[in-house]
Amino acid sequence: MLEDGPVFYGKSEGAAMTRVGEICFNTGMTGYQEVFTDPSYYQQIVVATNTHIGNYGISKDESQSGSVKIAGFICKNFNEIHSRERESESLKTYFDREGILAVSGIDTRKLVRHIREQGAMNAVITSEDKTLEELQAILKAAPAMKGMELASKVSTREMYELGDKNSEVRVAVLDLGVKKSILNHLLNKGALVGVFPHDTSLEKITEWKPDGLLVSNGPGDPEPLVEQAEMIKAVIDQNVPAFGICLGHQVISLSQGLETFKMFNGHRGINHPVKNLITGKCEVTSQNHGFAVTKESAERNKEVEVTHVHLNDNTVAGIRLKNKPVFSVQYHPEASPGPNDSVYLFEQFFDLISKSKEQAAATEKGE
Partner 1 sequence: MPKDNSIKSVLIIGSGPIIIGQAAEFDYSGSQAARSLKEEGIEVSLINSNPATIMTDKVTADHIYLLPLEPASIIQILQEQKIDAVLPSMGGQTALNLAIQCEEQGIWEEYGVRMIGVDTKAIAITEDRELFRQKMEEIGVPMAPARTATSFLAGTEIAQELGLPLVIRPSFTLGGTGGSVIYKQEDFEHALQRGLEASPIHEVMIDKAVIGWKEYELELLRDHNDNVVIICSIENFDPMGIHTGDSITVAPAMTLSDTTFQKMRDMAIRMIRSIGNFAGGCNVQFSVSNDEKEDIIAIEINPRVSRSSALASKATGYPIAKIASKLAIGYTLDELTNPVTGNTSAMFEPSLDYVIVKIPRWNFDKFKGAHKRLGFQMKSVGEVMAIGRSFQEALQKACQSLEIGRNGLGADGREQQDQNVILESLKNPSWDRVFHIYDAFKLGMSFNTIHKATLIDPWFLRQIQDLVTLESEIAQYTLETIPRDLLVDAKRKGYADRQLAHILQCLESEVYNKRIALDIRRVFKQVDTCAAEFEAQTPYYYSTFDDENESVVSEKEKVIILGSGPNRIGQGIEFDYSCVHGVLAAKECGYEAIMINCNPETVSTDFTTADKLYFEPVFWEHIYDIILHENPVGVIVQLGGQTALKLAEKLDKYGIRILGTSYEALDLAEDRGRFSKLLSELEIPYPKFSSVSTAEKAVEMSKELGFPLLVRPSYVLGGQSMKIVINEEELENHVLNILHQMPNNKILIDHFLSGAIEAESDAICDGEDVYIIGIMEHIEPAGIHSGDSNAVLPPFNLGDLIITQIEEITKKVALALNTVGLINIQFAIKNDVVYVIEANPRASRTVPFIAKAYQEPYVNYATKVMLGHKKVKDFDFNPVRNGYAIKEPVFSFNKFPEVSKELGPEMKSTGEAIHFIKNLKDPYFHKVYSERNLYLSR
- Tell whether residue 60 is a contact of partner 1 (CB under 8 A): no
Query: Which among 12-20, 109-117, 138-146, 163-171 is the span making contact with partner 1, rule CB under 8 A?
Result: 109-117
Query: Which among 128-136, 213-221, 268-276, 326-334 is the span making contact with partner 1, rule CB under 8 A?
Result: 268-276
- Tell whether residue 25 is a contact of partner 1 (CB under 8 A): yes
- Restricting to residues 298-317, name those near partner 1 by CB under 8 A: 311-313
Question: Is 249 among the residues known to form the active site?
Answer: no
Are β-strands 77-78 and 52-53 bridged in parallel, bridged antiparallel, or unpaired? parallel
Q: Tell me the closest approach of the beta carbon of residue 267 to partner 1, in angstroms.
A: 9
Closer to partner 1 by CB, 287 or 301: give it: 287
Coil vs helix vs strand at 15: coil
Question: Is 332 among the residues known to form the active site?
Answer: yes
- Tell whether residue 271 is a contact of partner 1 (CB under 8 A): yes
- Tell whether residue 288 is a contact of partner 1 (CB under 8 A): no
- Tell whether residue 7 is a contact of partner 1 (CB under 8 A): no
Closer to partner 1 by CB, 280 or 366: give it: 280
Dihedral sign for Cα 84, 87, 89, 95, please. Answer: negative
| Contact pattern for partner 1 over residues 173 through 192, marking x by CB under 8 A | --------------------
Query: Which among 140-148, 183-191, 230-238, 276-284 is the span making contact with partner 1, rule CB under 8 A?
Result: 276-284
Beta bridge partners of 122: 22
CB 222 within 8 A of CB 291: yes
**Distance between CA atoms of 1 and 24, rounded to whole angstroms?**
13
SS3 content of the chain, % helix, strand, coil (to 5): 30, 30, 40
Closest by alpha carbon to 47, among 79, 64, 22?
Answer: 22
Q: Tell me the closest approach of the beta carbon of residue 145 to partner 1, in angstroms.
A: 19
**At a CB cut-off of 8 Å and minimum separation 6, what does 58 contact?**
33, 88, 89, 90, 91, 93, 94
Closer to partner 1 by CB, 77 or 294: give it: 77
Q: What is the DSSP string of 128-157?
A: S---HHHHHHHHHHSPPSTT-B-HHHHS-S
- Tell whether residue 79 is a contact of partner 1 (CB under 8 A): yes
Provide the residue type at 221 as one letter: D
Task: Calculate helix-pair angle for 247-255, 226-237, nearest 10 degrees.
Answer: 70
Q: Tell me the closest approach of the beta carbon of residue 85 to partner 1, in angstroms.
A: 4
Query: Which among 134-142, 186-194, 197-205, 338-346 is the span making contact with partner 1, rule CB under 8 A?
Result: 338-346
**At a CB cut-off of 8 Å and minimum separation 6, what does 307 contact?**
276, 277, 278, 318, 319, 320, 327
> Which residues are at the interface with partner 1 (CB under 8 A)?
8, 25, 27-31, 33-34, 49-52, 55-56, 59, 62, 76-77, 79, 81-87, 107-110, 112-113, 116, 269-273, 275, 280-282, 284, 311-313, 335-340
**Among all residues, which ones are annotated catalytic?**
246, 332, 334
